[in-house]
Amino acid sequence: MKIGSVLMLSQTFHPAIGGAEKQALEISRALTGRGVKVTVLTRQPGGLPAEELLGEVRVKRLPVFGPRAVDSTVFMIKSFFWLLAHAGEYDAVHVHLASSPAVAAVLAGRLTGRKILIKLGGGRGVDEITLSQKSLLGRLKLAFFRAAKPELLVMNGEVLSWLKASKEFSGLRLRLFRNGVDTGRYTPPLYNEKINAKTAVGFDNAVMFLFVGRLSPEKRMKEFLEAWAEIFSEVSPAPRIRLVIVGGGPEEAALKRAVADLGVAGSVTLTGPKDDLLPYYRAADVFVLPSISEGLSNSMLEAMACGVAVMASRVGGARDAITQGVSGCLFDPLNRVELKECLRGFVADRSLALKMGEQARKTAVENYSMARVADELMEIYSGSAS
């Protein structure tokens, strides 16, 4: 079946900033470039129009009200009836994250015969399946999914292996998939452009380590700062390296205190959230991702597309995307010795980041380009992919 129209269903969407929101927007744009009519159905936060066009992507926002639980329930119910009333306007529904709207989509799909895909978010332990198990409503949702058997897109092999090995979830229809990155927008700079990029974000031509993401406990940036400080105490003379942390979140204040307490204010900068990340990717030499659990980081893929080497914990999507010693350095997130070995390697040989960055770019283009992801989604929507 040829797909002419797709509905993207997401509780939050652009201009909200987050991995799921960014993927939903980028996938929508890629599909419209293939002639597919894309409508995004989402909540209507205050101040945003009920309907607008983002390029060729139509965004329909449903008004909601009340505290979070009520808000989510209202959106789920409204989504269900909207999907029924407008069934003639879409051939497939792509749900971003397995939250309550996914239930509405599956129910509507049963009644309308439309194909339903649900993208699972999060890494092992903080994934949506694990989180759903912790509440009665979440367990009921999982039981419904086991009975209805919608197709679930899993973003990394770690979560897929766990779900397949679990008797409790053996009835789920699972498909390993991945996020995509616009490898035409995110490109490696030339040597002189790299130096200029460092200057543009306020740094000299030192080796720049970059973290981009939400500052939350599972990212383990405080532990990374402790290892960073130890490197400075163990290496003489002090290495010419910088750590730039871009993002906000519940750990931001604690990280600022840690920078001061550890005496690394001269080599560490917290920028807060940034709308445009491209200048930082172009200035960076090594992308840092020390999470204890991770799905498939959009920021990591964007950095790879910009020719940035990766230093990441050996979990989730990083374990799938990074070849140890080729495109990056992987470490056990709970092993300080392994983490510091990765750091020392990049400090000792600046050319290592350049070589690994070239391979990271190659991986991004060959395996994670948004063009390829969109092509494979078209096959999945049409039912022709296994």
**363 and 376 co-located in one domain:** no
User: What does each C-alpha distance from 159 to 177, 255, 318, 363 come to in angstroms?
Assistant: 11, 29, 12, 21
360, 328 contact by CB (below 8 A): yes
**154 and 262 co-located in one domain:** no
**170 and 266 co-located in one domain:** no
CATH code of the domain containing 339: 3.40.50.2000
Q: Return the pLDDT at 184.
A: 96
Closest CA to 5 of 115, 85, 149, 154: 115
Domain that holds residue 25: 5-180+370-382
Instruction: With both helix axes pointing from N to C terminus, report the angle between 68-85 and 100-112 in degrees, rounded to the nearest 10.
Output: 20
**219 and 259 co-located in one domain:** yes
Q: Does 226 map to a domain?
A: yes
**54 and 73 co-located in one domain:** yes
**60 and 174 co-located in one domain:** yes
**155 and 281 co-located in one domain:** no
Q: Return the pLDDT at 384.
A: 46
> What global pTM score does this model have?
0.92
> How many separate domains does the chain show?
2
**158 and 216 co-located in one domain:** no
Q: Cα separation of 345 and 349, whole Å?
A: 6
Return per-residue pLDDT of the chain as tens, 386 residues.
789 999 999 999 999 878 889 999 999 999 999 999 999 999 998 889 999 999 999 999 999 998 888 999 999 999 999 999 999 999 999 999 888 999 999 999 999 999 999 998 877 777 778 888 888 888 898 889 888 889 999 998 988 998 888 877 777 889 999 999 999 999 999 999 999 999 999 999 999 999 999 999 999 999 999 999 999 999 888 899 999 999 999 999 999 999 999 999 999 999 999 989 999 999 999 999 999 999 899 999 999 999 999 999 999 999 999 999 999 999 999 999 999 999 999 999 999 999 999 999 999 999 999 999 999 999 999 884 33
**247 and 342 co-located in one domain:** yes
Q: Which helix (H) or strand (E) element contains residue 353?
A: helix 350-367
Q: Does 113 map to a domain?
A: yes
**84 and 205 co-located in one domain:** no
Q: Does 126 map to a domain?
A: yes
> Residue 346 burial by CB count (10 A; 0-12/13-18/19+): exposed, middle or buried?
buried
**DSSP assignment of 212-262, as one string?**
ES---GGG-HHHHHHHHHHHHHHSSSPP-EEEEEE--STTHHHHHHHHHHH
Q: Cα separation of 166 and 125, whole Å?
A: 14
Q: Does 185 map to a domain?
A: no
> Residue 257 burial by CB count (10 A; 0-12/13-18/19+): exposed, middle or buried?
exposed
**227 and 301 co-located in one domain:** yes
**DSSP assignment of 146-193, as one string?**
HHH--EEEESSHHHHHHHHH-GGGTTSEEEE----B-TTTS-PPPHHH
Q: Does 186 map to a domain?
A: no
**173 and 197 co-located in one domain:** no
Closest CA to 153 of 282, 24, 54: 24
120, 129 contact by CB (below 8 A): yes
Q: Does 333 map to a domain?
A: yes
